[in-house]
Amino acid sequence: MTVTATSVDRPDRLQPPPAKGARARLIRLVPAFVSALSGVLLYVSFPPRTLWWLALPAFAGFAWALRGRTWKTALGLGYLFGLGFLLPLLVWTGVEVGPGPWIALVVIEAVYVALVGAGIAAVSRLPGRPVWAAALWTAGEAVRARMPFGGFPWGKVAFGQADGVFLPLAALGGTPVLGFGVVLCGFGLYEIVRLLLRRRDGEVRRSAAAVALLSVAVPVVGAVGARALVSDKAEAGTATVAVIQGNVPRAGLEFNAQRRAVLDYHARETRRLAAEVAAGKAPRPDFVLWPENSSDIDPFAAPDAAAVIQGAAEAIDAPVSVGSVVERDGELLNEQILWDPVKGPLQTYDKRQVQPFGEYLPMRSLIGAINSEWTSMVRQDFSRGDKPGVFGFGRVKVGLATCYEAAFDWAVRDTVTHGAQMISVPSNNATFDRSEMTYQQLAMSRVRAVEHSRTVTVPVTSGVSAVIMPDGRVARHTGMFVPAHLDMKVPLRTSETPATRLGILPELALLLVAAGGLGWAGAVAARGRRAGDA
């Protein structure tokens, strides 16, 4: 009987307890959970929240999850980070068209993050790993901003830092340097914690400790030093600018079927400002800025629309920049028109970076075969302009970057290099209702203000419209889905920041650093394989 009892007990002891096996599986899932959670943290660091500092623990957690992983595992972890970040960040893309395009966009964009994750894992065994890793992240953003279909820069780390201490780095080297500084600091933070934990078990190499500390210190010190580049000084005098937000009859895609009402609303709000000026309640503006799509009726083809715009310009007695949809020589153009109260239309600017799937449809026949509703929503593709937009309002030169263009470094920079003393970002966000899209785009304009040391105005059909000082501070803003206007004196500036002068060079330098890190990691791996074979 004793032998029988023993024979029954022993098989149970040969197998690990069920709880231990489940615990092991959960432990293996921890890196995946940390990657996804880190992506969510990065999303939470973006506007409308002012939790910019959460980007640091987000990248610290990402660094922990990727350290020492194989490239296949790192691909998966990077993809989870991308999903955690981009799924909530870009949810506004499905406000009116449903979840299909939103999910498709995120699934594609997260691939870039996955590839960056594989690269970061490869350099995670090298000395100076925070530098290589941060450069790789910047390289991933650079590629994502250019392809496919002209790129999609939305979600650059720099655009989440409008309220942060790192913002002055934008004046030093633009969004690539600002983003690199934030990511470097996050990876450096992880290295400091890792080395502190290792110190309990033994010596820590001084070089590794120095790299970790410098990875955190250099971006912070650089940002503090770059504050000298940020100034609100009026180098070329001032101008009184009026921003008109006429509002729309109702939110959504139906907005485009209410074109005359939208035009009338903006003319009415302009006349309301004119009445305030006549009564001495508001200063007379030197010029007036209407948003994108404020007149979707082509005033060159419709005399009644031209008469409404002319009447508004005469009432305020100032030139007006009007956002319109114009058909010229068989091409459909998203156009800004400088309309003088005496001479009528004087200048035009045609949007150069048109939005794929919004203003034109790539692979139209293929997409039409998949879903005919998408082709009906974009019946005719918009054509691209080919010249920078700089309107001359008398002595004042205003650079124009229409809505989506504000996300692209080149589209804003070349207005300044062509003489713009301030920048305007006319936009139409009515399609996206009250989503976070408006605040994300407003943050981009704040970063651009610091990047080029220019006042930036943001006239929006439905809000939030704003006037942003050259230091990135929002001086005045409207609410959403209300008729309103902003009328104030702003500084005009002519000097160029290092970011404006250098242009793409900082980004190219960081791309070379990323390539150098990958090359070094590849050489180390090859030596390891040869040693193993020997």
What positions carry a catalytic annotation? Answer: 292, 351, 403
Tell me the CA distances in angstroms from 151 to 78, 196, 409, 432, one per residue in order.
20, 41, 12, 20
Q: Residue 343 burial (CB < 10 Å; 0-12/13-18/19+)?
A: exposed
Structure tokens at 115: 């590839």
Buried b (16+ CB within 10 A) or exposed e, 463-489: bbbbbbbbbbebebbbebbebbbbbbe
Of 457, 492, 503, 498, give the one whose Cα is nearest residue 478.
457
Of 175, 164, 182, 187, give the one whose Cα is nearest residue 219.
182
Q: Residue 10 burial (CB < 10 Å; 0-12/13-18/19+)?
A: exposed
Distance of alpha carbon 341 from alpha carbon 309, whole angstroms: 9
Distance of alpha carbon 192 from alpha carbon 522, whole angstroms: 26
Distance of alpha carbon 512 from alpha carbon 517, whole angstroms: 9
Distance of alpha carbon 6 from alpha carbon 11, whole angstroms: 9
